Amino acid sequence: MPIYEYQCRACGHQLEALQRISDAPLTDCPACQKADLQKKISAAGFRLKGGGWYETDFKTGSKKNLAGDGAKAQSSSDKPSGGTAAAG
């Protein structure tokens, strides 16, 4: 279920609500009790990139390169191979 953000237009109180997509939007502010809540538009907590994988999935250490580091991320010839990885 998605988490929706709301803000009261009357008092400015902000809250998050875990709701089904089919649920009606909340209207009553829990702080001032007025029916003046407005659903906010916010960014998702993940980014999609590439051929079906999330950009940050299952990456550790130097493999956490994000978009823009593509040339360095694809070059593996200068990386040590095998066993132990340096903690850092």
In the chain, the number of structural domains is 1
Q: CA 48, CA 84: separation in Å to the nearest integer?
A: 30
Structural domain harbouring 11: 3-39
Residue 25 placed within a domain? yes
pLDDT (mean) for 45-52: 64
Residue 23 placed within a domain? yes
Residue 53 placed within a domain? no
Sort strands 53-54 and 48-49 into parallel, antiparallel or unpaired: antiparallel
Query: What pLDDT, on the 0 to 100 scale, is given for residue 56?
Result: 60
Residue 7 placed within a domain? yes
Query: What pLDDT, on the 0 to 100 scale, is given for residue 88?
Result: 47
Q: CA 5, CA 3: separation in Å to the nearest integer?
A: 7
pLDDT (mean) for 17-22: 92
Residue 70 placed within a domain? no
- Residue among 44, 35, 39, 36 at smallest CA distance from 16: 39
